[in-house]
Amino acid sequence: MARLKVAVLFGGRSGEHEVSLVSGASVAGALSERHDVIPVLIDRQGRWRLQSSLAPEGGEPVFLVPAPEERGALRRLSDSSVAARPDAYFPVLHGTFGEDGTVQGLLDLAAVPYAGSGVAASAAAMDKELMKSLFTAAGVPQTPYRVLRHRSDEGGAAVAVIEELGLPLFVKPANLGSSVGVSKVKQAAELGPALDLAFAYDRKVVVEAAVKDNRELEISILGNDEPAASVPGEIIPDREFYDYDSKYSAESRTQLLIPAPLDAAVAAEVGRLGIAAFRAVDACGYARVDFLLERATGRILVNEINTIPGFTSISMFPKLWAASGVSYAELLSRLVSLALERHAERTRLRTDYRP
C-alpha cells in the first residue's frame, strides 16, 4: 500500500501556539513511520508556511483553496503554483483558530479528509458555555457554573456569582485550553483580577464552583460512530491546581498515574461518561475527557472535553492509549484511517435536492 501524504498543521494564532509546536513535532515524528509528512506551520499572524522539516518558524508561504476540485492542494502565495498535494490533513492546533471549528470549516470547504472532529463538535467543545449546555442536555454530570459576558457588565453579576456558587471558584476564558487565563479564586477580592485575566482572552468567561477535595482523572476516546475508551489516568498536580506550568514546565513535578488506581466499577463509569461526553458534542476521531472525582461522595463530574488534546511526549492522550495496548505510531495511523472513513461518509451525502 502506498504511503499517504499527510499535512500536519501546527502552531496557530492562539495563546496555545507554543504547546502546538511541541505537539506538532511529536505527531509528525510518529506519523513519519507509516506516512509521508508535510509540515505546515501556521504562524502567530495566521500565515500558512510549508516547511521541508518541522520547525518553529520559517517556510514558504502557501494557501489552501476552499474548492473540492483542488483536491486539497497547497499553492504558493507567490505565483499560485502547486507546492504540495496532501492526501489528508492532521490539525494539531490547540485553542482558537484551529481547535474551534475554523480550520475544520476550511478543510470541509476544500473537501479533504482530516483527523478529528468536524465544525460543530469542534466549536461546541471549545466554547465551554456551549459544551456545558450540551452536557446538561445529555445528562452528563458537572459542577455548577455561570457565564459572564463582557468585563464591563460583570459588576453586580460577579457578586451574585459568589453568593450563588460560593468559594473557592475557578474563572476561565470560555474559548481556550491548556489552563491559559485560568485562575482559582479563594477570596472575594481575588475575583476582579481573575476576571480581568480571563476577559483578556475572551469576551465570555465561565465561573465554576470548585470541588474542594477531589481527584483529577482523564480518559482518552477513539473512534467515530462506535467510540472506545482507554484506561483512565490520574493527575496529581505539583501545585494548587493543574495550571499551564504544571502541565508543560520542565520543572513540573506533576505525577501521572496510568492506569489510575480506581475500583473496577469506578473505572467503568469514567469510561461510560467519557463516551457520553464524546457523543454529547457529536465528536469523532478522538478526544480527551477530563473528570473530577469528589472524594467525600464518590461523585464523578465531567470537567471538559478536548477535541485536539495535547500530543507532547508527556501528554495523557497517547499515554493512556499506550497503556491500553495501542502504540503511538498505531494510534496516529488509526486517526488517519478514521479521518478517511469519516470523509468517505461525507462524500456519500447528497448536496442537491431532487423532489
Residues annotated catalytic, as ranges: 16, 178, 248, 288, 290, 304, 306, 310
Cα-to-chain-centroid distance, residue 264: 27
Cell of 112: 479533504
Long-range residue pairs from 341-349, CB within 8 A, at least 24 positions apart, any chain: 341/224, 342/113, 342/118, 342/224, 342/284, 342/285, 343/88, 343/112, 343/113, 343/114, 346/108, 346/111, 347/111
Grid cell for residue 2: 502506498
Q: Other CB atoms closer than 10 Å to residue 225's CB: what's the count?
A: 9
Q: How does strand 5-11 pair with strand 88-92?
A: parallel
Distance CA 324, CA 247 (A): 22
